[in-house]
Amino acid sequence: MHRLRIVTPVYNDWVSLGLLLHDLDEAVATLPFLVDITAVDDGSTESYQCILSSVAGLKHLGDVEIVHLSVNVGHQRAIAVGLCVSVEDNDSDATLIMDADGEDSPLAIGKMTEEIGERQDFCRVAQRRRRSENLTFRLSYLIYKFVFKLVTGKQINFGNFSVISRSYARRLVMVSDLWNNLPAAVLRSRLPFESVPVDRAKRYAGKSKMNFTSLVVHGLSGISVYADTIFVRLLLLTVGLFVVTALSIAFVLTLRLFFPLHATPGWATTVSFGMVMILAQVLSVTLSSILMLLHNRVQRLVIPLADYKIYVASRLSLRGTRRPIATSLELQNQSQNIAMGRV
């Protein structure tokens, strides 16, 4: 590997990004390849000017650019946009994805990229050994992993911190699930990957934007990638519940008809009615899931590589040069010209 692109999403956390650039500049000094930085500004409302002094003092990093998004699309989609930018520029051998808040340590990059050598195909993900978050977050994360395993049958023990070869990244940006959740998309795409044990570091500054609501939405986004698997499991659960209900009603009626001395008056009716109500509720949920799944299958899927440009407002190179890409405004103008027969 000769050139690495680091993609990091940022939302108003420019102070942390400035500190990250400083630490990255020191960390990459001993690495045997050139490192560029792409910070994806996820619709921030605060100015990036505070990082200019950090950029001016860099010695070992290559290009540093900011991809400004026109709206806030969320952490995972900002990552998807950054990965698409890296793939379309096609000037790096691999893309490394990390958070800008310092929790993904720059010192771990060497460990993430070691043993790659001249390999063309690879995907290495950081498996967390020790976390720095509070107890509530860690418990919530354990619950998320348990629920993910329960409803999908898959085990997920890694996050966004990963390094992906150019060839694998090209495949990944064509997977619509990337728009929802990077780790789940890696699993869903069936790309072979290696787990690298890495400790999670502490934040540089400020507080995490991930509150309880965001954590739940993030977890559900990852689980939703396996909607078809969840549907099959729900269908099997419904069939199993139907069998249990039928057997229970048959048992109750047998007691009521052939062993009346062992049956309390009204007991058979109450139990049978209760079981039928439970079955009706499960059937309604299953039917609704079937209809939603079939409806979504006929809708146009979001393909990150094809759709990401409409969210890009501009690209700004703070150190070096980059080939420009069409912004959302330029794309709108192109569409209008096509509609008016100008091109």
Lowest model confidence (mean pLDDT) among 67-71, 91-95, 104-108, 222-226: 222-226
- C-alpha to C-alpha distance for 206 and 20, rounded to whole angstroms: 14
Considering the chain, what percentage of its residues have pLDDT values greater than 70? 81
Return left, alpha or beta for 121; rule: phi > 0 is left, psi -120 to 50 is alpha, else beta. beta
**pLDDT of 324 strictly over 50:** no
> How many Cβ atoms are within 10 Å of 19's Cβ, its own excluded?
20
Handedness of CA 181, 302, 305, 170 (dihedral sign): positive
Residues 48-60: tens digit of each pLDDT:
988 888 888 899 9
Q: What is the pLDDT of residue 325?
A: 46
| Structural tokens at position 77 | 């989609």
**Better-predicted residue by pLDDT, 46 or 153:** 46
Q: Are strands 34-41 and 3-10 parallel, antiparallel or unpaired?
A: parallel
Give the CATH number of domain 3-215+305-334; options: 3.40.50.460, 3.40.50.1000, 3.90.550.10, 3.40.50.2000. Answer: 3.90.550.10
Q: What is the pLDDT of residue 331?
A: 43
**φ/ψ (deg, to 5) at 159:** -115, -140
Q: What is the pLDDT of residue 264?
A: 65
Region 190-214 average pLDDT: 78
**pLDDT of 150 strictly over 90:** no
Which residue in 174, 84, 77, 164 sits closest to 126, CA to CA?
A: 164
Q: What is the pLDDT of residue 218?
A: 65
**pLDDT of 191 strictly over 70:** yes
**H-type alpha helices, the chain:** 14-27, 52-56, 75-89, 109-113, 135-152, 166-172, 182-189, 212-224, 227-258, 267-297, 304-307, 328-339
| Structural tokens at position 104 | 């993904």
Q: What is the pLDDT of residue 189?
A: 86
- C-alpha to C-alpha distance for 163 and 86, rounded to whole angstroms: 12
- C-alpha to C-alpha distance for 25 and 312, rounded to whole angstroms: 27
**pLDDT of 328 strictly over 60:** no
Region 251-273 average pLDDT: 72
What confidence category does residue 201 fall into, taking pLDDT thresholds of 50, 70 and 90? confident
Q: What is the pLDDT of residue 89?
A: 93
Residues 280-323: tens digit of each pLDDT:
777 777 777 667 666 666 667 789 999 999 999 999 998 765 44
Residues 213-251: tens digit of each pLDDT:
666 776 777 777 777 777 777 777 778 888 888 888 788
Residue 117 Cα distances to 110, 123, 178, 303, 320, angstroms: 12, 13, 27, 31, 26
Q: What is the pLDDT of residue 298?
A: 60
**φ/ψ (deg, to 5) at 9:** -80, 145
**pLDDT of 335 strictly over 70:** no
**φ/ψ (deg, to 5) at 318:** -90, -15
- C-alpha to C-alpha distance for 69 and 87, rounded to whole angstroms: 17
- C-alpha to C-alpha distance for 215 and 160, rounded to whole angstroms: 14
Q: State which of 102-116, 132-146, 242-256 shows the largest mean pLDDT.
A: 102-116
Region 133-161 average pLDDT: 76
Q: What's the mean per-residue pLDDT of the chain?
A: 81
**pLDDT of 339 strictly over 50:** no
Contacts of 112 (CB under 8 A, 6+ apart): 96, 124, 126, 161, 162, 163, 196, 198
| Structural tokens at position 13 | 């956390």
- C-alpha to C-alpha distance for 317 and 63, rounded to whole angstroms: 7
- C-alpha to C-alpha distance for 297 and 317, rounded to whole angstroms: 40
